[in-house]
């Protein structure tokens, strides 16, 4: 079952058939700092295996929030963006409100994310620095998306 929210001419939907993979890939590969250079096939696979919230306005996709989750114990918020011409209207905040209102995520006890510059926004929704940073580890090749394959 897909969910949809509307506000002032904008729509947020979890229907994967509405996602514009070309637009998502273009933003991530060319405009984001966290996935610059990502291959289209990687984006397609990531989207296919995630709960995605597409943001739509003016007849096109203008934003996204992607949640990697088991819908029970853990969720990881990823690839959150609103295209530049649509920023400053509260759409990113609304996108997060919809993510947290989704019934499949209601029971998730731990919700992670990584951000370079969005701490103030995410803090308004309850995210904090790691409570136990000494327990968290990661394996991340620094140049993952820049490697020649």
Domains of the chain: 4-146 (3.40.630.30)
Average pLDDT over residues 71-76: 97
* 34-58 confidence digits (pLDDT tens): 999 999 999 999 999 999 999 999 9
- Condensed to tens digits (0 to 9), the pLDDT of residues 90-107 reads 999 999 999 999 999 998
The burial class, CB within 10 Å (0-12 / 13-18 / 19+), for 103 is exposed
* pLDDT one-digit tens code per residue, 135-144: 999 887 767 6
Contact predicate 54/12, CB 8 Å? yes
Quote the mean pLDDT of the chain. 94
The span from the first CA to the last CA of the chain, in angstroms, equals 37
The 10 Å CB-count burial string (b at 16+, else e) for 124-142 is eeebeeeeeeeeeeeeeee
Mean pLDDT of 50-68: 98
Which residue has tokens 């490697």?
147
């Amino acid at each position: 079952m897909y969910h949809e929210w509307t506000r002032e001419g904008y729509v947020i939907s979890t229907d994967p058939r509405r996602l514009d993979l070309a637009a998502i890939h273009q933003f991530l590969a060319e405009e984001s700092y966290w996935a610059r250079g990502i291959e289209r096939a990687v984006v397609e696979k990531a989207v296919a295996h995630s709960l995605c919230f597409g943001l739509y306005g003016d007849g096109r996709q203008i934003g996204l929030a992607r949640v990697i989750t088991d819908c029970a114990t853990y969720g990881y918020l990823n690839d959150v963006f609103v295209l530049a011409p649509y920023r400053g209207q509260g759409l990113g905040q609304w996108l997060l409100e919809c993510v947290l209102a989704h019934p499949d995520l209601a029971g998730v006890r731990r919700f992670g994310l990584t951000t370079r510059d969005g701490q103030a926004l995410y803090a308004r929704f309850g995210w904090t620095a790691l409570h136990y940073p000494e327990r968290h580890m990661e394996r991340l090749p620094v140049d993952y998306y820049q490697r020649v394959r």
